[in-house]
């Protein structure tokens, strides 16, 4: 039975051990967490594994969820910590191949618009990928995942003013990078 209502109504049922509520929680948030981790890890397989690890941590921590943040920001915070642990354990640097963006499906209405948008998107995504990690992650959460400023701050465990500053800094770097799209134009690290 699918539960109706908000996440705030769903959490107590999950905390009480309701398997239908747990299934509903995963159904509601799996795609967003997977997309966030896919963007950070660079591969489908790693994102799937990291998403599983995230929900595994969610199940062990759900009893302690007190509602100080939204469920969405709490889940993204756990996903971010899982990703950081994965990076540390594997001494990895995440690099997303430029061709990865070209392989993404685009729902643009016309081929010429698709080509134009694809070029701009590829350029923009590449510029975002060149941002320092803290700026890149902030951009991912706020713009790509659609988290509010407060939810982004909660996920990153920083102040909202820091999120605003990081976003302004990132936008400045992106403007610089996109103003001169030559290969030598890079975002400062």
Q: Which domains does the chain have, with CATH numbers?
A: 7-95 (1.10.1740.10), 99-189 (1.10.10.10)
Q: Which position has the higher pLDDT, 100 or 49?
A: 49
Q: Following CA atoms 164, 166, 169, 171 in sequence, which dihedral angle do they give, to the nearest 10 degrees?
A: -70
- Does 155 score more than 80 pLDDT? yes
- Does 81 score more than 70 pLDDT? yes
- How far apart are alpha carbons 145 and 72 in whole angstroms? 10
Report in angstroms the alpha-carbon separations of 149 from 32, 141, 145, 177.
17, 9, 11, 24
Tell me which residue of 129, 119, 122 sits closest to 173, measured CA to CA.
129
Contact 173, 131 (CB under 8 A): yes
- Does 164 score more than 50 pLDDT? yes
Query: What mean pLDDT value characterizes the chain?
Result: 82
Q: Where are the alpha helices (DSSP H) in 16-157?
A: 19-41, 44-61, 71-90, 98-102, 111-129, 133-139, 149-156
pLDDT tens figures, 128-147: 888 999 999 999 899 988 89
HSE of 85 in the Cβ direction (CA atoms, 13 Å)? 12
pLDDT of residue 189: 39
- How far apart are alpha carbons 15 and 93 in whole angstroms? 36
Tell me which residue of 14, 16, 19, 51 sits closest to 32, measured CA to CA.
51
- The model's pTM: 0.59
- Dihedrals phi, psi of 84, to nearest 5 degrees: -65, -40
pLDDT tens figures, 61-79: 998 988 888 999 999 999 9
Residues in the chain: 189
pLDDT of residue 114: 52
Q: What is the CA radius of gyration of the chain?
A: 18
């Amino acid at each position: 039975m699918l539960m109706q209502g908000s996440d705030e109504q769903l959490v107590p049922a999950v905390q009480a051990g309701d398997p239908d509520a747990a299934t509903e929680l995963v159904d509601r948030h799996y795609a967003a967490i997977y997309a966030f981790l896919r963007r950070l890890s660079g591969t489908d397989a790693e994102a799937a594994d990291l998403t599983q690890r995230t929900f595994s941590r969610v199940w062990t921590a759900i009893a302690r969820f007190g509602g100080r943040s939204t469920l969405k920001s709490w889940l993204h915070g756990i996903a971010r910590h899982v990703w950081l642990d994965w990076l540390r354990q594997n001494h990895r640097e995440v690099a997303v191949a430029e061709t990865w963006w070209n392989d993404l499906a685009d729902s643009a209405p016309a081929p010429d618009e698709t080509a134009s948008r694809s070029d701009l998107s590829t350029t923009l995504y590449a510029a975002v990928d060149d941002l320092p990690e803290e700026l890149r992650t902030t951009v991912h959460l706020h713009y790509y995942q659609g988290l509010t400023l407060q939810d982004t701050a909660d996920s990153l465990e920083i102040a909202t003013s820091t999120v605003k500053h990081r976003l302004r800094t990132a936008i400045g770097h992106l403007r610089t990078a996109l103003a001169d799209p030559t290969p030598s134009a890079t975002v400062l690290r």
